[in-house]
Structure 1
Amino acid sequence: MNKRWWMGLLVVVGLIFAQVFFPYSVFSVYQSVSVSTELPILQDYKMKLYEFKKMDEENEGKDPEGYSMDHVKYATKHILETYEMDMMTTSRSSIGKGDLNIILEDLRFLQDRVLSITFEEPHSSESRKYLYATLRWIQAAEEEIVRIKSSPPSRFHLIHRLEEIQNDIRKSFDMYTEFYNAYYWYEGE
């Protein structure tokens, strides 16, 4: 009886340890971690999103061959959907193990859209530079998610890595904004 009690206690302590320190492990019951964004960073990002959307709405896009919208203008609507995901626009978000797959798919969709812009429209060297920087930041976030999925880290490292992913996505948005400005306003329309 005493031996069973100790074995049961050891299993319970092991499960609690896995839950607290390794939330994405197989033995964790609640496979989620909460990531918070500092209020000034969040407000700055949301303000940049708002200003960008306002600028995009006012921009009618180029009309080189009688089309009402060019590829950049069309793709931007869909690109903004990824930049507006909950992980980026809320102060505290809970990210489960399954959510990583959704975020990864969103980033791959974003990358495909940005790549399509690269090939469908002519670009100046300045706008191309920003476009490539956007792709690099998206790839950095994507690689970080793949690393998390391949070897789930401890809770502390997981939160740190998720914050890095948020930073990479914010930087890719900044570069996309710079690309957008360079594409429409510095190329002489």
Structure 2
Amino acid sequence: MIKHGGKRNGAGRPKGQGVYGTSTKAIRVPEHLVEDIKDFSMNGGYKIPFFSSMVEAGYPSLAEDHIEEMLDMNNLLIKNPDTTFCVKVTGLSMIDAGIYEGDKLLVDSSIPPAEGKIIIAAIDGMLTVKRLGYIKGKPFLLPENPNFNPIPILENSEVHIWGVVTNILRNL
């Protein structure tokens, strides 16, 4: 009896061979994205030019036309990809820390929360961004706007710290 199709023992490329040196998986993507995905994969993400010229914040200076390197934005902004996530800010309690409504915050859950760090915390199921601090030796979530009150971290409240804010992303 002759069989056609199906899995055959020993057929196909042995795992770990080929361009990638590891097993691969075929995926379906829209044809118009194939080149973008290849470029992203082969270059390790999107990279943008980083010019060696300094930008004067005072009087203008002569610009040099020299690219120092290509910056990988993933490496620049995200130190621990497996533990980093992004949240969007609502409210005005952190404006004196430069965090405004609509900003996106990169948060790393692997960084230990410490006094003075800006954190994302869940209090009784509600998320907030505040600075971790102490008042008279007791822990508080401190706003960075005098119109808001510090939030005490009480022994009976359910507080879970999701992570430490590492970057603020904002469109100008």
TM-score (norm 1): 0.20
Bigger CA radius of gyration:
2
Which of the two has greater strand per residue?
2
Higher relative contact order (CA 8 A, sep 6+): 1
TM-score (norm 2): 0.21
Which of the two has greater helix per residue?
1
